[in-house]
Structure 1
Amino acid sequence: MPPRRRRSAEPFREKFPEPPASFSEYGRRIAVEDGIAAKSRRGAIGESWWSGRFLAVLEKLGVGGRLDRGKTYARAGQVIDLAIDPGEVVATVQGSRSEPYRARIGITTFADEAWDAVEGAFAADSWFAASLLGGTVPDDLEDVFARVGLSLFPTGAREMPMDCSCPDWSVPCKHLAAVAYLVAERFDEDPFLILRWRGRDRSTLLAGIRDRRDDTGPAVTPLAQVVDRFWTAGGPLPEVGHTDTAAGASEELLDQMPPLGVSVDGVDAREALRPLYRRFGA
């Protein structure tokens, strides 16, 4: 299902129709008070697979030392503000001129029909649905998008247009690179921002998954409504025969269970129990 195309915004760099012969005349960058600085102080920026996939597109362009200078800008706090919205990241970056530059990193948002397919795929998989509804983004999130014919991340520079109001006509310039490195750290902190960038905010996505789970999932009494009679013996058991269980139904109790506050080797107890529930329901 093809993603919807966004109309291109007016380029920031129109105010600079001719690139200068040299940038040395602009001097040193102007320090920013209370700017947004990268948490990483040395080495690579970005810890998760999703921030790595995002930065891989940037690093494929190979524009000399601009990426390194952008990393320096990011760590120095030269970015004044940054917003991740559907279809674009827009930031203000202080360079060597008195007027800060405006930098933008765009992406094509997915059409509503495409997001419907994604939400349906999430809702059909108990593991993905439970993880997302619990506030966790699974590592294999990208696979779900691939199942419905979409690529979560841009595959090249053409799918991620960038623009900056600075005089440097290289793309990305150091200001764009600084913004990209900070975006990667934002993705580390909240991977739902990747989905927002692609056009679907967290609350809308989770509401869509819940609606589909309510429509298609088996009826399950909420745990809170039965916990008071958990240890009470019921009536005589009916004769038990073999019945086919819908895939994922055995995990519904785990999905209803509130957080236990207990972990096993760093894994939430509910998720540690999930493989056993899957085997019971097989």
Structure 2
Amino acid sequence: MLHSRWAKLSVLTAFCLGCAAASAAGVQPEVKDLGMTPKSILIVGNSYMYYNCGLNGYLGGLIREKANPKIKTRIAAIGRGNLSQYPIAEYLDNNLLASHDKKFGQLDAGLMQKELKKRESYDLVIMQASNRGAEDQKRDAFYVPNHVKAIRAAGGTPVMLMTWVQRKKGAPAQSLVADCVTKIANDNHMMVIPVGLAFEAAQKAYPDVKFIMPDNTHPTAVGSYLMASTIYAALYHRDPTEATGFAGGCEKPLEPAVRQNMARVAWDTVKAWYGWK
């Protein structure tokens, strides 16, 4: 038992040190352009994705206004979920759904045939990476290659989403999370979207604005809009300040000045991250 604990500690320490060593130089993204224009998007993540108006509504609205009026965006989210808990291959091929296993019995033959013909296809699958420490990053590093393989086998393009860190005691530095997530993305030859860095930049530029809820982890509506703007900028290589007409589907839409400020921070962050002119 003692040997097992030391072995686990050694592996986690090695992973942490690897990210820390990379952090000293700053891990840079290797994939700096998506290389395609998505017509359909699946976002896989946890409650960050649906909290306070939700990413899906904001992102879909931004895209439909300027980039693609027919975009299809979907979210697969589990509260407190992580990438070890999402059967992404099943999301992309209805024939693989565990619920269709014959050991559970069989639906009426005609209905079953219709079910098996259903297949959600997505040009792009965005995976929310962990924003926690070495053990969680090591877990993502293990599961992500399997998800990437499934996404590409289904004809899609995988992308990693780097979020902000929790404002809690013991939370890792944003720079460490950024480097670990970027390393995982680089190892799997995919784009990483720097939402966490946009949050960091926005908080410095607008210290009086609340981007994270009092629980110190979930986004406010402003935070959700900033996340959507950063993703929009990265995916479409477009300035999100151009989408001035979309106020969001919330009961209390954000003020135009707030939306523009967040879009500007998102665009500046994305350009700096990928080295775009």
Q: Normalising TM by the smaller chain, what interval?
A: under 0.3
Greater Rg by CA: 1
User: More helix per residue: 1 or 2?
Assistant: 2
